[in-house]
Structure 1
Amino acid sequence: MGEHHLSHGPANRGRYVLQTAAPLFVREPVGAPRGAVIVLHDVFGVTDYAEEACRRLARGGWLAVSPYLYYEHGGPAFDATELPVARGEMTRLTAEGLAADIAGARDYLTGRRGMPAPAVLGFSMGGYLATWAAAHHDLAGAVAVSPSGVEHAPWAGMAPLELLVADRRAPWLGVLGRDDRRLPPDAPERLRLAAAASGPHASVVLLPEAGHGFYRTGRPGHAPHADTEAWRRITAFLARFAAP
């Protein structure tokens, strides 16, 4: 894969893929960016809704990039019927590789594009990784939507989400579905207590009638009202903490 890969169809104008540690899906805003955001995908990879998250951010004025975390095995994206295969791909990732991929995305934005420290927005496993990044990198802020790993990290060598929230170095927002059965029943309260620990601003939002994956537009489990509210919270958080 070369350095730049242009997409020539009109619907993809302004979209390209860039090779760093992991290749990046890049979405440019119209005009000068107000800031930068790294979007970390869920177990299904850089799918249509991961790309749409970048597009939504670009429409709001942000330079948005999403690393293809599965790139070492061809960078696949999976649909909802392929969850067991997607989970198998997820387990092949390593803490060392993920750290390099996130650092590569950050270095591209700050070093090559001259942006200030970016924010990070992650979904499910990406929500865990966004929180991990907030505890290990200088960032403008981090948003974790439907995060996994509250009690046990998804990968060896990484701390549970609860501890990462307490150790954050950047402002943090957790967006959880009240009906998310993959979370321990006391997860919201535990994360709120961790967020109340010393450190930058942190808060937890609990969305009613939203299960795990409520943000997946056009996919099973999508909750449009929760998705709209989540994006309202996300954009307010970014405007407060990630715009220079």
Structure 2
Amino acid sequence: MTLEIDTGTGLMPVHVWEPPSGNGPGLLLLQEIFGVSDYIKERGAQLAGLGYFVAAPEIFWRLDDVDLDPDAPDLLDRAIAVLGRLDWDLAVSDSVAALEYLRGRDTGVGVIGFCFGGGLGFNVAAASTPDVLVSYYGSALPDLLELAPKVDAVSLHHFGDADEYLPPETVDRIVASLGDAEVHRYPGAGHAFDNPMPAFHHQEASALAWQRTVEFLSRTLPIEQGTS
């Protein structure tokens, strides 16, 4: 279902997936640059199936003329152009508003983000206080490392060793700033390796990273925490 959250400067559309029990710890799901795509919605449904109450805000909601047709041959160029018009600070505050909505349900809360959302989630974790953070190849991380001391959430990070946007030496620098975070690196996997698009997907890395994500969440944000 979709609802609207008051950000203080407007109503932001948010996709919500409820767990079978109707209650559970909250997870803020942050999109890639392609928006809340079918892929992100699938991950939202899967997380809800595990017992989490999931909310995925439409981060591009403030922008006009956003056309991210998944069948467009120039989809990546379109998405990059949209991202270039985004106000990062507003994206952070909008995401924090969605996190506070989840926190208002009196459960534990976490953040999970992919690519653009992986970096945004890191910034959200610095600006707010989620219990856990899962970041998949956060593309903005190299520019956010000064925030690392403010991130108190128990964290899990995934990186592909064949990522052209985050090459190994850049990941080395990121990892050195992450402190006690759990980090996994995947040989042969490029950027966005969890995305099912053929241009990005790496089947083995995607499956293993998801397995590790599910295990991490079960350990750090247990379902019992939010069940009645």
State the TM bucket, normalised to the shorter chain: 0.7 to 0.9
Structure 1 distance, partners of 2:58, 2:45, is 16
Long gaps (5+) in structure 2: none
Query: Identical aligned pairs, as a percentage?
Result: 28
- 1:219: Cα distance to partner? 3.9
Q: Is the 8 A contact 1:17 1:24 kept in 2?
A: yes
Instruction: Say whether the 8 Å CA contact 1:215–1:227 is kept in structure 2.
Output: yes
Indicate conservation of the 8 Å contact 2:92/2:123, yes or no: no
Equivalence for 1:224:
203
Return 5+ residue gaps in structure 1 as ranges. 1-15, 152-159
Question: Alpha carbons of 1:150 and 1:103: their partners in 2 closer, same or farther (altered >3 Å)?
Answer: closer
Q: Do residues 188 (structure 1) and 167 (structure 2) align?
A: no
Q: What is the alpha-carbon distance in structure 2 between the residues aligned to residue 178 and residue 194 of structure 1?
A: 18
Higher relative contact order (CA 8 A, sep 6+): 2
Q: Distance in 1 between matches of 2:147 and 2:43?
A: 24
1:90 corresponding residue in structure 2: 83
Distance 1:228 1:179, change over 3 A: same
CA 1:230–1:122: 2 relative to 1, 3 Å: same
Separation in 2, partners of 1:140, 1:84: 35
**Equivalent AA in structure 2 for residue 185 of structure 1:** P
The answer for the alignment partner of 1:18 in structure 2 is: 3
Q: Is the 8 A contact 1:45 1:78 kept in 2?
A: no
Name the counterpart of 1:99: 92
Between Structure 1 and Structure 2, how many residues are aligned?
215
Cα distance between partner residues in 1 of 2:67 and 2:220: 33
Match of 1:13 in 2: none
- In structure 2, relative to structure 1, the CA distance for the partners of 1:27 and 1:109 (3 Å cut) is same
Residues 218 and 85 of structure 1: CA distance in aligned 2, closer, same or farther (over 3 Å):
closer
* CA gap 1:38/1:76 in 2 versus in 1, 3 angstroms: farther
Corresponding letter in the other structure for 1:121: I
Change in CA separation of 1:185 and 1:208 when aligned onto 2, cut-off 3 Å: closer
Partner Cα distance (1:187, 1:237) in 2: 24
TM-fit CA distance, 1:218: 4.0
Q: 1:42 to 1:217 in 2, by over 3 A?
A: same
**For the residues of structure 2 that align with 1:93 and 1:48, how far apart are their CA atoms?**
21
Q: 2:27 aligns with which of 26, 37, 46?
A: 37
Q: Do the aligned partners of residues 62 and 51 (structure 1) sit closer, same or farther apart at CA in structure 2, a change above 3 Å counting?
A: same
